[in-house]
Amino acid sequence: MTPHRSSPFGLPLLLAVAALTGCLGALATHGFRLLLDGASRWLFGGDGGPVQVAGALSPGLRVLTPVIGGIAAGWILQQLPQIRQHASDYMESIALGDGRLSLRATLLRAASSAMSIVSGSSIGREGSMIQLAALAGSLPAALARLGTAHRRLWLACGAAAGVSAAYNTPVAGALFVGEIILRSVTIETLGPLLLAAAGAQLTSACLFADTAIYQLPPLTTQGDSSGLGFALLGIVAGLLTPGFQLLLHRSKAIFGQLPLPLWLKLGLGGAFVGGLSLLTPHVWGNGYRTVGQLLHTAWPLGLLLGVLTCKLLATAAATGSGAVGGIFTPTLFVGAVLGAVCGHAITGLTGQPAGPLWVVAGMGAFLAAATQAPLMAIIMLLEMTRTPGAAVPLMLAVATAHLTVRLLGCRSIYAHALPKSEKDRHAVLDIMQKNTPHLPYPASLRQLADAFAHWRWQHVYITDPRRGFMGAVPIHEFHAIQRQESDPDRRIPDALIRLDFPRVSADMSLAESLELMTAHHGERLPVIGAKGELLGHLRKNDLLKLLGTRWPFL
């Protein structure tokens, strides 16, 4: 049951509040941006970005500024100790929580983030922008004292508005929430999200110039090899993504083991950023202006590799130390430099000049690989550049990048932001059906025929002597073999058992289970324990019913 059906005011009120949520989210986003810009001008003078500020400072101040900012940011976070232990941000509140955000926690996180950003930390602005937009978007539901489903919806609308206002990308803003947070894009949710994002876009256009955040020069005609080159770029981006995530996770683990207070950890992270900025000022900030330079200027290969290495280390130090901020824009930065590097390689192989499309395709490919949201990545870059000519290169790079990370089994970079609640962790075990029919290996054709006739399933599960799940036999493939075999007591061929049959792990989240179930054309999937044993089976109807109680508008 959807919220507008359960509401006495119906669909018109739902859409009106979604639009209002978009406006409120945009105001919160731009208010935070103006605060950051004002603080930067007051501290450093001028309207230059972080890279320009770092370049104008003396070496001592270039190192000391991120240290002071990190210490201040950590001290602010320590005023709310539970943030360190369980950061209940907008992603978790939308996906698993009750749709509420703490005002005090959100404001303290935003203040801490502002300290880190203004002092040059290598993190994105968008994290706190979206958090504040989500908080603003949740106000209508809070004032009206609506239920959990409505609160989650308005919180999601606020987040979509925040992305839309931060990047001037309304469609991608809605898809960001759908693909990454909800991990489901349905008409019921996409409608309000799109309306909220559109409201944010219109509000932003009234306040500021409605232009693409990345202006591309005129595109040059690409050679015949460009299609293959962009596909290879996507493969490279997909192969490098696990290393990028491992670097971030290792950094967080190292800082987490240090016996230091939080403010000192953030100060130490700032020292790393400051030290790296002595090598290149491009490690300061989220990398937005550097990407703009890459779109218009061809950098030497050595400079690209040096800046990329320093930026990766700086971002790992900043996020690992506990700085509050976004990872979205730094991910775009890494993809942009990667695209420029691959452009150099193509130029060396073909002699054709590499244009800005390589930078754009690199951003899209690495973003898709890191977030595992390919549709969002394509639309995001098209809206950021407003260049329809970039569509085909983006599609080639994004598709191959997404396929590569899926083959590698890589998780989304936002997976850590959506931890499983205790309720969610055991949800599969709670709703699965036990006493699941199965046949021990090896089984005869007669046993398999009796099993299909008795259970009337489309697949029969096969287990080893220890009840370990081996795979499943599809009924249509069994019938094909049955027509060819005259001996019903013959053992079924091993090739008949689908060893790659999809299965649900007992510790999977509901979102992960839904993703598997959606891709599977059957009505049930086996549930597997930690040692590979068959515990039971999960029915699609049971999963949808449970999700309906948590997200009634899905």
Please name the amino acid found at residue 307.
V
pLDDT digits (tens, 9 = 90+) for 200-258: 999 999 988 778 889 888 776 444 457 888 999 999 999 999 999 999 999 999 998 98
Average pLDDT over all residues of the chain: 85
Q: Give the whole-angstrom CA distance, residue 527 versus residue 436.
A: 9
Q: Are 480 and 445 in contact (CB under 8 A)?
A: no
Q: Give the whole-angstrom CA distance, residue 468 versus residue 501.
A: 14
How would you label 227-239 residue by residue, b for 16+ Cβ within 10 Å and e otherwise?
A: eebbbbbbbbbbb
Q: Are 317 and 192 in contact (CB under 8 A)?
A: no
Cross-strand partners of 498: 472
| DSSP labels, 506-546 | TT--HHHHHHHHHH--SSEEEEE-TTSBEEEEEEHHHHHHH
pLDDT digits (tens, 9 = 90+) for 459-488: 899 999 888 999 999 888 888 888 877 778
pLDDT digits (tens, 9 = 90+) for 436-445: 888 899 888 8
pLDDT digits (tens, 9 = 90+) for 173-189: 999 988 888 776 777 77
Token pair 């605060």 is found at 35
Say how many C-beta atoms besides its own lie within 10 A of residue 434's C-beta. 9
Distances (CA, A) of 135 to 102, 105, 138, 183, 524: 8, 11, 5, 21, 38
Q: Give the whole-angstrom CA distance, residue 118 versus residue 285.
A: 8
Domains detected in the chain? 3-207 (1.10.3080.10), 226-260+273-417 (1.10.3080.10), 422-550 (3.10.580.10)
Cross-strand partners of 461: 438, 472
pTM: 0.76
pLDDT at 92 over 60: yes
Q: Give the whole-angstrom CA distance, residue 371 versus residue 378.
A: 12
Cross-strand partners of 326: 124
Q: Give the whole-angstrom CA distance, residue 377 versus residue 388.
A: 14
